[in-house]
């Protein structure tokens, strides 16, 4: 039950971050972009952090408790994807923090947008890190349900 | 670990159901966060638009995925409506009541987007928090197989 709660927090937090990220992309004023990116840090990031911890710790315990082998494909592949998803998400988050700092600076200086802010918010490489991270976590869900190699 | 023992034919509907429920939880949480952030600044255009489009473009399709997956797996499992387990009843209750809550939230978000009215923003905040509580109840009941 708490392992599933962790999965809801992890994937739900990722979905919330995706919604807010897309809305920040579409927003015009730096103050609005800063507000939406701040919401990612206040809502999505804590949910993802707690969900990541719960899924890994309780998942490893469940593998032991139920009697699965850590060498089974779906178990070790899920752990690899979990690590990859968190690493990419962390790097994507640093990129978003940079965009938020720039948006906050511009908001304090008259709230006029700039080309640099637009580039930061819409940077394909920075956003790709977060989206690929979400895809990795989605693949973990696929492994949890289909359990290939069991 | 989501479901340890079940026929493989149930995997895809279960995936759709769980994915829909998780995206629904995430999008409703985003809506709640946006509308709470708008408590003292309900006129901010980006917040009004974000709440409305989050519900319309993400929460409603996610609800359809969650409910469709639930009905599909329900028919495969062979339940008939009589003596169904408690956790299943809670799941269907939350899913069906949840649609009403979601549609009222969508109406309030539309009103807020059009008017910038603080009361509408607070209605969206209250309704989305209520829906989050219902979703938490449903996933705890269903994953813990209450009853």
* Top-confidence residue, B76 or A79: A79
CB within 8 Å: A29 and B46: yes
* Residue B79: inside a domain: no
Q: How far apart are CA B70 and CA B67, in angstroms?
A: 5
pLDDT computed for residue A34 by the predictor: 94
Q: How far apart are CA B42 and CA B117, in angstroms?
A: 6
Question: Residues B142, A46, A52, A91: what is their CA dihedral angle, to the nearest 10 degrees?
Answer: 140
* Residue B78: inside a domain: no
Q: For chain B, how many residues are written?
A: 147
Q: How far apart are CA A115 and CA A16, in angstroms?
A: 26
Domain residues for the domain of B103 are 9-73+85-143
pLDDT tens string B27-84: 999 999 999 999 888 888 999 999 999 999 999 999 999 999 999 988 887 777 677 8
The domain ranges of chain A are: 2-146
Q: How far apart are CA B104 and CA B106, in angstroms?
A: 5
Within 8 A of A23 by CB-CB distance, chain B residues are 34, 46, 49-50, 53-54
Facing B29 at nearest CB: one of A26, A35, A43: A43
Q: CB-side exposure of A99: number of CA atoms within 13 Å? A: 31
Determine contact: A34 vs chain B, CB below 8 A: no
CB within 8 Å: A20 and B50: yes
Q: Is the pTM of this model over 0.90?
A: yes
Q: What is the nearest CA distance from A32 to chain B, expressed in angstroms? A: 6
Q: Tokens 């928090």 label which residue? A: B129
> Which long-range contacts (C-beta less than 8 Å, at least 24 apart) are formed by A73-77?
A73/A148, A73/A149, A73/A150, A74/A143, A74/A144, A74/A146, A74/A147, A74/A148, A74/A149, A74/A150, A77/A143, A77/A148
> In chain B, where does DSSP find H-type helix?
11-37, 45-53, 60-77, 86-115, 118-143
Within 8 A of B144 by CB-CB distance, chain A residues are 1
How many structural domains does chain B have? 1
Residue B140: pLDDT over 50: yes
Percent of chain B with pLDDT over 70: 95
Residue A37: pLDDT over 70: yes
Q: How far apart are CA B91 and CA B140, in angstroms?
A: 10
Task: Provide the token pair at A81.
Answer: 């994807």
Within 8 A of B29 by CB-CB distance, chain A residues are 12-13, 16, 43-44, 47
Determine contact: A90 vs chain B, CB below 8 A: no
* ipTM score assigned to the predicted complex: 0.91
Question: Residues B130, A33, A21, B120: what is their CA dihedral angle, to the nearest 10 degrees?
Answer: 20
Determine contact: A50 vs chain B, CB below 8 A: no
pLDDT computed for residue A106 by the predictor: 93
Residue B1: pLDDT over 60: no
Please state which of the ranges A4-13, A99-108, B74-83, B130-139 shows the lowest mean pLDDT: B74-83
* Residue B126: inside a domain: yes
Whether A148 contacts A73, CB under 8 Å: yes
* Residue B80: inside a domain: no
């Amino acid at each position: 039950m708490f392992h599933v709660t962790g999965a809801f927090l992890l994937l739900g937090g990722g979905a919330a971050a995706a919604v807010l990220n897309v809305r920040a992309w579409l927003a015009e004023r730096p103050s609005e972009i800063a507000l939406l990116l701040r919401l990612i840090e206040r809502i999505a990031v804590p949910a993802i952090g707690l969900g990541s911890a719960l899924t890994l710790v309780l998942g490893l315990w469940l593998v032991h408790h139920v009697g699965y082998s850590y060498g089974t494909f779906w178990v070790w592949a899920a752990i690899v994807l979990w690590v990859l998803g968190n690493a990419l998400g962390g790097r994507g988050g640093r990129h978003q923090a940079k965009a938020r700092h720039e948006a906050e600076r511009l908001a304090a200086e008259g709230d006029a947008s700039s080309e640099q802010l637009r580039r930061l918010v819409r940077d394909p490489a920075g956003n790709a890190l977060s989206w690929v991270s979400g895809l990795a976590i989605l693949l973990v869900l696929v492994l949890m349900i289909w359990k290939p190699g069991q | 670990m989501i479901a340890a023992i079940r026929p493989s034919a149930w995997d895809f509907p279960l995936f759709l159901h769980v994915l829909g429920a998780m995206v629904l939880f995430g999008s409703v949480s985003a809506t709640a966060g946006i509308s709470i952030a708008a408590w003292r600044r309900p006129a901010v255009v980006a917040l009004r638009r974000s709440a409305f489009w989050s519900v319309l473009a993400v929460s409603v399709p996610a609800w359809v995925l969650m409910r469709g997956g639930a009905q599909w797996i329900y028919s495969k499992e062979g339940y008939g409506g009589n003596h169904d387990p408690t956790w299943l009843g809670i799941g269907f209750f939350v899913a069906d009541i949840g649609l009403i809550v979601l549609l009222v939230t969508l109406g309030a978000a539309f009103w807020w987007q059009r008017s910038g009215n603080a009361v509408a923003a607070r209605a969206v905040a209250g309704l989305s928090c209520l829906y989050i509580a219902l979703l938490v109840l449903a996933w705890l009941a269903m994953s813990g197989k209450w009853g």
